[in-house]
Structure formats: structure tokens, C-alpha cells
Amino acid sequence: MNALVTGSAGFIGFHLTKALLSEGINVIGVDNLNDYYDVNLKKARLKNIEQFIRDEGCTSNYEFIKLDISDANAVSDLFVHGKFDVVFNLAAQAGVRYSIVNPYAYISSNIAGFVNVLEGCRAQEVKHLVYASSSSVYGMNSTTPFSVKDAVDHPVSLYAATKKSNELIAHSYSHLYRIPVTGLRFFTVYGPWGRPDMAYYSFTEKILNGETIDIYNNGKMQRDFTFIDDIVEAILKIKNKPPIEVEMAGTHLKTPYQIYNIGNNRPVGLELFVNAIENALGIKACKNYLPMQQGDVPITYANISPLKEKFGFIPKTKIDDGIQQFVDWYLDYRKN
């Protein structure tokens, strides 16, 4: 099997690439290595993949290509030569708050870039496209846990709006060209090799440096933190079962398209989350309590029943264990 992973130097893409190689799948990974956060971390992930291949004796083929998915010609050429069976589109401009500062980056990568990938899948008749959506599409949803059946028509950030756009555009391509497509709404992914713009990463860094951490909404926030290993396990289960043509709710359309939540199904309060970091570090944090930030939401909480029923997926990692694994990695990475 030949797979394409876009955003392969990113957090989830990096872990997924290694998992695919372990299964004997040939992987081409692409990433534009932008400077939204420290490029050295992305390069370190790529080096780690190469070391992983040597250490594990992987027999599958792996190639990394520096490429921006917003470059339509480059993406077209990639698909012509790649002959991919499955495509994982994880490349995107991430971050809720940054979308307020730099909206054009989100339109370029998350919308134009995604359409380029869809065009490649259409032209080469890819057997299964799996793409990253986000729990941010739920916005200020007042019903918990969040279900894929809930309306998601009121995004509170541009980032969320681009992810909702991805879902609509992907559905259109799936219906028009019969491309089997699965969208994944990720819920606050964390773990080793994570993104420095995420709260758990910056909290750890600041606590170690003796700096004050900002606690928004006065600590009255809850997140469905999902450990990276659980995320990857779910993706691997999903990849082998492309959606069949099923009737879309409330329509007469039969389309090979499906969306799933991937979360831990157990929201954790921000204060408890910080306590887990403090315990892992053995250091108490200095805290600065602030009101809610623009574009943020008070709670995320995933209903993962469809994923359990179809794939037998049950997240295994408790927050204390996951944070300990992240802190252990971070302390080791910081030494280098």
C-alpha cells in the first residue's frame, strides 16, 4: 500500500508516519516547514523518523518532500507520480488565536491547499482520503457531549470556519466524484513531540523557567484532551475501512462520506490539567487568572459512540499518564 501524509513534519503527521511505516506501508510525507512555530522541532521530527526506520529495520519505502499544498502545480505533480492508495491530509495552518492575526495563511493552506489535495485525489482516483477537521467546528455548542449530528453552523474563529469549509468541500467532492472520504474532528491532541503553541507545552516551558502561566476564563475551562497514541490508533483503524455510499441524513443523497469525533470522551478541567503538569515536573506553577480569550470556547467534549461501534475504538491513556510521557520527552528534548 502507498500512502501520502501531508503535514508529515507536524505533530500528528509525524506520529502517523512512523505508525504507517511500522505496518509496512510505503509513505511519502510532505510539509512546507513553515515558521508558525520552531522549524527546528519539525526538522527534529524528520530526523527522528529516519532514526526510527534504521532502529526498527523498516522495510517499507519512505520519502520526504518539502512542498506547500497551496502550490497547485506541485500537488498535481505529486499525485501523478505518487500513485497513492490512501491519502492523509493533516497539513493545515493551525491555531485559533493566530487566525485572528493572520487570516490569509488559513485561506491559503486550509482551503486552497485542501482543494488541491482533493483535486489530486479526484484525478488519480484515490481509494480513501482521510483528512483532519477539528473540534473547533462545534463553537459555543451548548449540548454535550458534542455529536457529529449536531449543527455546526456558528464558528467562533476563522480557523473553525476553514475546518467547517473543509467538511463541506470534501462532501461535495465525495458526492460528485465518488471519492471515499473520512473527516476526523480531533479533540485537543497532546503528547510527546507536540506543538509549542499548545497550552500544555507552553505551561511546561514556563513552569520550568519560573514564569507565570496565564489561566483563561479564570480556570473554568474544560478540554477533551486526547493522547497522541490514541489518535493514531483510531486513524489506523479507520484507514482500512473507507466509507461506503450511505444516505446522508435528511436527504436522498448516497455518498461515500463520513465524519467522526476522535476524543478522549472525558473532559478535564484546566486546573486539574495544570495540576497534572505540576505533579509531573515536581514544581508548583505561578498562575495569572484572566477572562476568556476571543475565539475560545469554555468546553470541548466528544461523543465517540460511532467510532466505538464501527471500529471498537476506546481511548486508553489517562491524563496523568499522558502528561508524564510528554514531560519526560520534553525534558529530554530540552537537553538537546
Active site residues: 159
| Residues 153, 138: Cα–Cα separation, whole Å | 8
